Amino acid sequence: MSPRRQPAPAPELPGYTVERLLGSGGFADVYLYSQRMPQRQVAIKVLTHEATRDQPREQFAAEANLMAQLSTHSSIVTIYHADTAADGRPYLVMQYCPLPNLAERVKVRPLGVPEVLGIGVRLAGAVETAHRAGIVHRDIKPANILTTEYGRPALTDFGIAGLTGADESGGVSIPWAPPEAVEGQSAGVAGDVYSLAATLYTLLAGRSPFSRPGGPNSRLDFTMRIKRDPVPPIGRTDVPASLEQLLARAMAKSPAARPTSALELARALQVVEQELRLAMTDIEVPDTSWLSPAAPSRDDSDEGRTVVRAVTEVDPTGAPPPPSPADDEPHTVLRPVRDAWGPQDLTESTRSRRAVATDADDAAPERGRPGRRWVVAGAAAAVVVAGGIVVAGQLRGEEVPEPAPTSTIGTVVLPDVVPAPVDLSGERVNDGQVEFSWTAPDVPGELSYSWVRTDGNKVGESQPVDEPPLALESGGRVCVEVRTITEQGMVSAERAEACVE
């Protein structure tokens, strides 16, 4: 085994002041610099002199160009600038993500199911965005997912990325690589889907899918298991069977058996979120609907008219409806959202009537609160109908009765994000008992909580508690995580944490 390469000295770059080394790889070093104008911290990836032999300069330029095409996505690291230092080393100026990457976080302990689902949906949107640009990443793994200062995942390191139709297969990280890649074959879109699922598995299990505690875990061991062994169970009681099955399907040996796209994987993860009654994470993919050519106007005088469109039924699984041969005009389909009423109170026909399609311009101001938009739309329709009846009666000379007062049905407004409990703290009551207390977050309705101890080697199953304090019997160190549960069953993705020695 060759000794680890020592990082090269940081280059002097005009407009930047070096602060410290962030990390080193086989072909590049990453340093934290302060940019002087505008003032901000940036991460600068500098290629080594050894790596500039043969064709790495072209590869480095390709990485810069690929990431620049995708930098507007919130879950892809932003590229600011690329150039060559005075000593001949190419460098890339990137967004600095100060929080630990996912590989570092999972070394401490596995992540919670709600957080992993949210990370999965966001990253699947980023991967789908890359695929729509004709780019496959080829090296998705926890270490290549940074964390922004806002706690959002950010995909980086497109160093071995390529075009979706390319035949070449560059170097890969074996523990998260699909079977076709470890065999030296090209791994395209289906390979990225596999690697993303393997990454989510790692976040839940605390190890890569085919790693065995205690070993052996050599490159050959990984290769044989990836090619032959079924995906082992994650081994956590709080991971639902539907999520285990989804990740196993996304890591199928045959690329054809996996979800056909990162978008399909994202939608399937959203279904699991709904199953757990969690706040649904948005899928961020490029909106290309504006590229569709406008349908020719049948009459210039129709330019300012109001067009009433038919109601569109939305599949609860998130799949788009089949195209209608009678309607070739561009239209907007709303994604499924959680209803303010419990599912047990709705019939299938009621659910269908609530799925409403609107013009994009009308939907935009209320996009964040679909339930409220539907209530306003229904009220407006009622006013228009009632007004039409009154006017028609008056024109015929009929005596129109006063309209009966309308009844108001109270609605439940669901928060976009359920906050974690506030000011969680603990104290030792006596030698054998600890009590934890907290303040309820500002959420309407009755709240309850779930808690789990995290001071052991293994995270246990979450337990319910109606209100603080939480009393635990223990004479040693006690650490707990507490989450908020609304009366609609929504669970906070973030958690409050506290320890008592």
Distance CA 123, CA 153 (A): 7
pLDDT tens digits along 447-474: 888 888 887 644 555 678 888 999 988 8
Which of 298-302, 409-413, 458-462, 477-481: highest mean pLDDT? 477-481
Residues 100, 47 contacting (CB under 8 angstroms): no
Torsion of CA 143, 284, 375, 442, to 10 degrees: 30
- Give me the half-sphere count of Cα atoms (radius 13 Å) on the Cβ side of residue 414: 24
Task: Please state the φ and ψ torsions of residue 461, each to the nearest 5 degrees.
Answer: -85, 145
The single-letter DSSP state of residue 6 is P
Catalytic residue numbers read 138
Give the pLDDT of residue 34: 95
Query: Is the model's pTM score more than 0.75?
Result: no
Helix H or strand E segment including 145 = strand 145-147
Give the residue, 336 or 281, on which the prediction is more confident.
281
Mean per-residue pLDDT for 172-179?
Answer: 89
Number of Cβ within a 10 Å radius of residue 70? 23
Superfamily for the 16-95 domain: Phosphorylase Kinase; domain 1 (3.30.200.20)
Count, residues in the chain: 501
The contacts found for 306-309 with CB under 8 angstroms, 24 or more apart, are 309/357
Q: Which fold has domain 422-500?
A: Immunoglobulin-like (2.60.40)
Q: Encode pLDDT of 298-351 as tens digits.
A: 444 444 443 334 444 445 455 555 554 444 444 333 343 333 333 333 333 334
Q: Please report the pLDDT score of residue 367 as a whole number.
A: 38
Binned at pLDDT 50, 70 and 90, residue 432 comes out as: confident
CA distances to 286, 287, 359 from 364, rounded to whole Å, are: 16, 13, 9
Does an H or E element contain 118, and which? helix 113-132
Q: How far apart are CA 48 and CA 342, in angstroms?
A: 59
Share the mean pLDDT of the chain: 75
Give me the percent of the chain exceeding a pLDDT of 70.
66
What's the CATH architecture for 102-275? Orthogonal Bundle (1.10)
Does pLDDT of 374 surpass 50?
Answer: no
CA atoms within 13 Å, Cβ hemisphere of 231: 28
Confidence of residue 488 (pLDDT cuts 50, 70, 90): low
Both structure tokens of 378: 């229904």
Would you say 443 and 449 are in contact if contact means Cβ atoms under 8 Å apart? no
| Cα 26 to Cα 8, 47, 51, 141, 210, distances in angstroms | 12, 10, 8, 16, 24
* Spans of all domains in the chain: 16-95, 102-275, 310-321+330-394, 422-500
CA distance 325 to 329: 10
Q: Tell me the per-residue pLDDT of 218-242, one tens digit each, with 9 for 90 and over.
A: 889 999 999 999 999 999 999 999 9
Q: Do domains 16-95 and 102-275 have the same CATH topology?
A: no
Evaluate whether 127 touches 155 at the Cβ level (below 8 Å). Answer: yes
Question: Which DSSP string do the residues of 128-142 spell out, in sequence order?
Answer: HHHHHTTEE-S---G
How many whole angstroms separate alpha carbon 104 and alpha carbon 373? Answer: 42
Segment 80-128, tens digit of pLDDT? 998 989 988 889 899 999 999 999 999 989 999 999 999 999 999 999 9
Using CA atoms, how far apart are residues 326 and 311, in angstroms rounded to an integer? 14
Structural Rg of the chain based on CA atoms: 27
**In the predicted model, what is the mean pLDDT of residues 18-30?**
85
Contact (Cβ atoms closer than 8 angstroms) between residue 218 and residue 260: no
Can you give the pLDDT at residue 124? 96
pLDDT number for residue 357? 37
Backbone angles phi, psi at 115, to 5 degrees: -65, -40
Other CB atoms within 10 A of residue 486 CB: 21
Whether 245 has a pLDDT exceeding 80, the answer reads yes
Angle at 54 between CA 48 and CA 55, to 5 degrees: 85
Q: What is the rounded distance in angstroms from the CA atom of residue 434 to the CA atom of residue 452?
A: 14
pLDDT of residue 389: 46
The span from the CA of 484 to the CA of 490, in Å, is 8
Q: In this structure, what token pair is assigned to residue 323?
A: 């195209």
